[in-house]
Structure 1
Amino acid sequence: MILTVVEKELDGSAAETSLEGLTFARKLSAEGGGVPVDAVVFGEVGDDLRKDLAAYGVRTVYQVGGEAVAAYSGAGWASAILTVRQAAKSVVVMAPGSDRGMELMAHVAARAGVAMAANVLSFDGLSPFQVTRQVVGGAALEEMVLDQRPAVFTVAGHAVEAAPAESPGAADVVEHTPEVAAEDLVARVQSVEKLEAEEGSGLKSARVVVGAGRGAGGPDGFGDLEELTSLLGAALGVSRVVTAAGWRPHHEQVGQTGTRISPDLYIPCGISGAIQHWAGCSSAKTILAINTDAESPMVTRATYAVIGDLHEVVPAINEEIKRRRG
């Protein structure tokens, strides 16, 4: 049995990374002869969510509720997941490679006394169960054997493309109210605030992203980049250097400690391409780098590159776009 943690968005729908996780779980299920895929969800499972989980082949949805787990707690939720795992008799426990998924699986693995594999991209057979995962911020790959049970891991963002199952599952909802020790609830979320629409960067779902790095030069150096973003109907993303300097807000940061993106087109401008940033943008289908350094990591890894100052190149691109649009 495979147990997959499904994270919810604030509107109650399944997070895209969780749908990717379910798609990965089905591939693993097929390799194992069609073992069932179950899901664990904290909080209410609405009709729309249940239908989505059914479409992705889920057999049973364990709806975990109760006052103890009403607010997120890494240790508390991990304790609950392990009780669900016992009920479901799962030999695999997995989660999306989100911040929350990483924390939860680390707690689960520690409590179960087994190893954890983070940021898994693929697997190669089940006996032994060998996985390939990202390490060093995505700059290298590592093969790892998970020979203990349960096998605990997270799936790297965009390791697979989310896709419904050919045959839907029943997605029968089973309510589960766990007992959680008080010491497991010492650290827990107190409140959640949603960004206003105009503050949100839309990076995760954007099909085009314009990136800006140290080459912007300062907090006043984003005018042309913002115009390009508007002309392309894109989202603006920045490097860690930019947010650390206070030039732009953190929710625009792309990278290992920011948002991981997978647009059709990424245009990094004045970004050298450190490992941490590359970890967040390497899933882009096409990369067009604009940089003065022809030997920078971003330029050498890009699909296409323009060698030049972004403050000269970007305005020229903007004018050409406007000219062609009349």
Structure 2
Amino acid sequence: MILVLVETSLAGDAVEVSREAVTFARDLSAAGGGVPIDVVLVGEPSASLVDELAAYGVRRVHALTGPAFEAFSGAAWASGVLAVRETAGSVVVMAAGTPRGNEVMAHVGARAGVAMAANVLSFGGLSPFTVTRQVVGGAALEEMQLSQRPAVFTVAGHAVEAAPADAPGPAEVVVETPAVAEADLVARVVSTEEPEPDLSGSLKSAKVVVGAGRGAGSSDGFGDLLELTELLDASLGVSRVVTSLGWRPHHEQVGQTGSRISPDLYIPCGISGAIQHWAGCSSAKAILAINTDAEAPMVTKATYAVIGDLHEVVPAINAEIRRRRG
């Protein structure tokens, strides 16, 4: 049996990367002869969430409840996942490659005494079970054998496209309250804050993303970029240095420590393309780079490039779009 940790949004539905992880699990199940897929999540799910997971081919939903699961704790969640795994007999335990998913699976692997593969893109042979994963911030790929059981890994964002099952059935809900040691609650979330509103839309699901880096110059240098974002009905994404300097909020950051995006078009402006940023945008279908440096990594990897100052190029693009739209 395959067990998938599913993360939910504040609205109570499964986050996109968790739906991708379940889709990945379904492909793995098919390769293994159709072994069942169960999911484990925190809190009692709504009827709509259960229906959603059932549509993705999930057989059973294990809901972790109790005081230990009221706030996030990587160790406590891992304890709950392992408790479900022991009763369900899972041979594979996996999650989406989010900060929480990677943390929980690292605890699961350590406690089970097996290796954990992070950011898996695909799987190969089943005997031995072989996976290909991203390493060095996505700059290289590594083939890794997971010969021990359970096989524990996380799925890289956008490794597969989330899709419902062809012939789904109903999903059973099992509410569980496993015992959690006090030591597992030493490190836990004690408070949360709402992020600043993303006025340009959801970055991770955007079809077009306009990127901004150090080349913006200052916190006042985003006017033309924001106009382009509005004209293209796009989202704004920025490099780590932009958020570090306080020019833009962190939720707009693209990269290894930010959001991983896969738009139809990414327009990075004034972004050199450090490996950490590339890890977050390499899944874009097309990249149009605007940069003064023709040798910048982002320019050399881009589908198309314009060599020039973004403060000259972007206003010209905006003017042409406005002209064509009358």
Query: TM class by shorter-chain length?
Result: over 0.9
- Name segments (4+ residues, structure 1) moved above 3 Å: 196-201
- 8 Å contact 1:57–1:165 — kept in the other structure? yes
- 8 Å contact 2:200–2:236 — kept in the other structure? no
TM-score normalised by structure 2 residue count: 0.98
Letter of the 1:117 counterpart: A
TM-score normalised by structure 1 residue count: 0.98
Residue in 2 aligned with 1:110? 110
Letter of the 1:137 counterpart: G
Matches within 5 A, 1:208-223: 208-223=208-223
Residue in 1 aligned with 2:228? 228
CA distance in 2, matches of 1:148, 1:159: 23
Q: Percent identity?
A: 74
Letter of the 1:314 counterpart: V
Residue in 2 aligned with 1:68? 68
SS in 2 for 1:40: strand
Structure 2: gaps (5+ residues) = none
CA distance in 2, matches of 1:192, 1:155: 26
CA distance in 1, matches of 2:154, 2:207: 25
CA distance in 2, matches of 1:269, 1:120: 29
Question: Cα distance, 1:284 vs. partner?
Answer: 0.9
CA distance in 2, matches of 1:246, 1:154: 31
- 8 Å contact 2:293–2:307 — kept in the other structure? yes
Question: Cα distance, 1:207 vs. partner?
Answer: 1.2
Residue in 2 aligned with 1:124? 124
CA distance in 1, matches of 2:36, 2:170: 11
Matches within 5 A, 1:22-61: 22-61=22-61
Question: Cα distance, 1:247 vs. partner?
Answer: 1.4
Select between 236-245 and 96-105 the one with higher mean Cα deviation: 236-245
Letter of the 2:19 counterpart: L
Letter of the 2:264 counterpart: D
- 8 Å contact 2:250–2:258 — kept in the other structure? yes
Letter of the 1:170 counterpart: P
Tell me the number of residue pairs that the alignment of Structure 1 and Structure 2 aligns.
Answer: 326
CA RMSD of aligned residues (A): 1.1
Matches within 5 A, 1:1-326: 1-198=1-198, 202-326=202-326
Query: Can you list the C-alpha shifts for 1:145-166, whole angstroms capped at 9, x where unaligned?
Result: 0011000000000000000001
CA distance in 2, matches of 1:106, 1:91: 16
Question: Cα distance, 1:195 vs. partner?
Answer: 2.8
Query: Can you list the C-alpha shifts for 1:25-58, whole angstroms capped at 9, x where unaligned?
Result: 0000011000001000110110110000000000
SS in 2 for 1:242: helix
Structure 1: gaps (5+ residues) = none
- 8 Å contact 1:54–1:168 — kept in the other structure? yes
Structure 1 residues 206 and 32 mapped into 2: Cα distance closer, same or farther (>3 Å)?
A: same
